[in-house]
């Protein structure tokens, strides 16, 4: 059975025809029609701010909570959380939430700048794993699982391991062999 608590909740809320006096300012396309011309009426129709009926991403207890549980189940994980503002923000949140000033994290040398920005903001220190280069294609590869394992063993003080999966070039690290 498929469940779509977020979509169903948005549709129910849209049918209520609530007049919003808060953000977002486009008022589901009832104001400036430029966004409808660019993105289409349906995408704007369901762009709502947090409300009692839609739950709250910061402290979910309704449809977002249910969707988190379904996502965790789908990924065979204990928990799942949705992120806004893209992967860059997710990188920063993961690092800042898990590392204190002065602690270390193992990461690829070709890590995204958002992860480096989090290290700067939080005062944590990188321990780099240098991915191999594919000389034929001229691109850096994903981290080798053996290199990651060796780096973990050489740095037992490291608090976390950060892996770009996939890399910008679509290459992946063999996560199953990293324990």
- What's this model's pTM, rounded to 2 decimal places? 0.70
CA distance 89 to 157: 26
The separation between CA 35 and the C-alpha centre of its own chain, rounded to angstroms, equals 26
pLDDT value at 31 more than 70: no
More confident residue, 88 or 157: 157
pLDDT value at 46 more than 60: yes
At 165, the pLDDT band (50, 70, 90 cuts) reads confident
Residue 23: its pLDDT value, please?
64
Q: How many CB atoms lie within 10 A of CB 118?
A: 24
Strand partners, 128: 107
Angle between helices 5-15 and 63-74 (to 10 degrees): 160
CATH 3.40.640.10 domain locations along the chain:
86-177
pLDDT value at 104 more than 60: yes
Q: Which CATH class is domain 86-177?
A: alpha beta
What's the rounded mean pLDDT across residues 70-84? 92
Cβ-contact 53, 9 below 8 angstroms = yes
pLDDT value at 139 more than 70: yes
Cβ-contact 9, 61 below 8 angstroms = no
What's the rounded mean pLDDT across residues 25-34? 68
């Amino acid at each position: 059975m498929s469940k779509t608590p977020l979509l169903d909740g948005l549709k129910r809320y849209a049918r209520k025809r609530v007049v919003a006096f808060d953000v977002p300012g486009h008022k589901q396309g009832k104001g400036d029609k430029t966004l409808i011309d660019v993105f289409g009426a349906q995408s704007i129709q369901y762009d709502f701010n947090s409300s009692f009926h839609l739950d709250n991403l910061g402290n979910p207890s309704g449809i977002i909570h249910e969707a988190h549980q379904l996502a965790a189940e789908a990924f065979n994980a204990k928990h799942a959380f949705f992120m806004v503002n893209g992967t860059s923000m997710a990188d920063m949140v993961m690092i800042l939430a898990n590392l204190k000033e002065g602690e270390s994290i193992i990461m690829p040398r070709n890590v995204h700048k958002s992860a480096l920005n989090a290290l700067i903001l939080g005062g944590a220190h990188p321990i780099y794993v240098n991915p191999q280069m594919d000389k034929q294609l001229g691109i850096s590869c994903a981290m080798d699982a053996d290199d990651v394992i060796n780096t973990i063993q050489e740095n037992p003080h490291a608090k976390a391991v950060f892996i770009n999966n996939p890399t910008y070039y679509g290459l992946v690290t063999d996560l199953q062999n990293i324990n």
